[in-house]
Structure 1
């Protein structure tokens, strides 16, 4: 299967949703990673999802995944019942826009990985119920829960579900001191997407944040090795 290059729209976050789609199309990307909240905002201001569908079709853009479901891992058991309904809404929106995956973000603070895994397994089942959209887990290096590549693999492996996957991210791997040996121990079919990004020189790993990322090739990550 040929590699498809898609734009992560967090890199042009100040732009409007329609401008993000236009810019991705004009730049020649194969696809665009949309943020669910951008679409919620667009609709809240009077826009229609059908407008987004038409723009994607006009520019020939696929939607490889959408971002994100947050708060599900740290919610109380009572709150999680409502979070399941929000997950369903977001998964249904993914299905409408042709996105096979919805990214599920980990908690900001330390968490119970047993609860996280159980709930991720539950989200996978909800995805099957809404037509086969798959929640995919992500690790975030500057958070305090699932910040390491091995944490993501632990959740995916322990979910014991054939649809369980995670998003590989060059920056988060480097910034968490994850290693190539860690990566190569993971079956490739468990990786849903690869975020290609780079890390700023002169700031050591474990100390960088989102804003420290730089253009691919301008940083210190050995992307060829990955």
Structure 2
């Protein structure tokens, strides 16, 4: 197991500061948010400089989060999506980062389920081909409030594609919030399909309440409705020993000193994982 600082936990922090904070708080690796990373690069930073900083602190880059809206499947939108995939994949390779997270949002929710599955299969397969050229893999995150939101859907797409660089991230909240997956389902997985874990907590929306993640996920693990220990134990029972990324989606906590926040997050995760 290696413990990773998720960039959403330190939401207002830039990537260079996150590297230092991660080292000082005792993390092993970083999961950079794509918009922070691209902002750094678009404003004069370089992957070589960032990698040197990561190496200086004895860390590694575990994941880039994320290539989003991968459901774009027509015309210029799809061309743009694949261009974004190409750029992020090259950046990941330059950072010696093995994994990019990929996720769909609401762009195809109106379509029949069979068509949704066909689109996701085709798009992810094409993304995977880009990664095969650069030695990069992709972890599918199913988003609870979309129509591509279950573990069986992700597993079916992985089976259809049949490429070694496509797997899963086990995000406790997204899988739990749909009400369709349990720790037992996770425990039954082949650990080779698990590329990462998002260690997190939260609750489901109340009747009539919107799916607003900054509200529903604004809980330190142990404060929400998820049995965090059961999900943790399920992942560990598979034999998975890779990236555990501490993901805290809390506007209140984002206003803390980010070094202190990162320390609290890793100490909290250790209570469940160690």
Q: TM-score, normalised by structure 1?
A: 0.88
Give the match for residue 165 of structure 2: 163
CA distance in 2, matches of 1:76, 1:8: 32
Correspondences of 1:10-159 after superposition (within 5 Å): 10-109=8-107, 110=109, 112-129=116-133, 131-142=134-145, 144-159=146-161
Instruction: Give the stretch that moved more between structures: 175-184 or 88-97.
Output: 175-184
CA distance in 1, matches of 2:27, 2:155: 29
Q: Secondary structure at the match of 1:107?
A: coil
Gaps of 5+ in 2: 232-274
CA distance in 1, matches of 2:15, 2:37: 7
CA distance in 1, matches of 2:224, 2:119: 36
Do the aligned partners of 2:200 and 2:221 also contact (CA within 8 Å) in 1?
Answer: yes
C-alpha deviation, 1:180, in angstroms: 2.7
The answer to which structure, 1 or 2, has the higher relative contact order (CA under 8 A, 6+ apart) is 2
C-alpha deviation, 1:197, in angstroms: 0.5
CA distance in 1, matches of 2:211, 2:186: 21
The count of corresponding residues between Structure 1 and Structure 2 is: 221
Give the match for residue 222 of structure 1: 227
Do the aligned partners of 2:144 and 2:177 also contact (CA within 8 Å) in 1?
Answer: yes
Gaps of 5+ in 1: none
| Cα 1:17/1:41, change in 2 over 3 Å | same
CA distance in 2, matches of 1:15, 1:82: 28
Correspondences of 1:195-206 after superposition (within 5 Å): 195-200=198-203
CA distance in 2, matches of 1:41, 1:78: 23
C-alpha deviation, 1:78, in angstroms: 4.1
Structure 1 vs Structure 2 CA RMSD: 2.2
Runs of 4+ in 1 over 6 A off after TM superposition: none
CA distance in 2, matches of 1:85, 1:64: 22
Do the aligned partners of 2:48 and 2:95 also contact (CA within 8 Å) in 1?
Answer: no
| Cα 1:201/1:43, change in 2 over 3 Å | closer
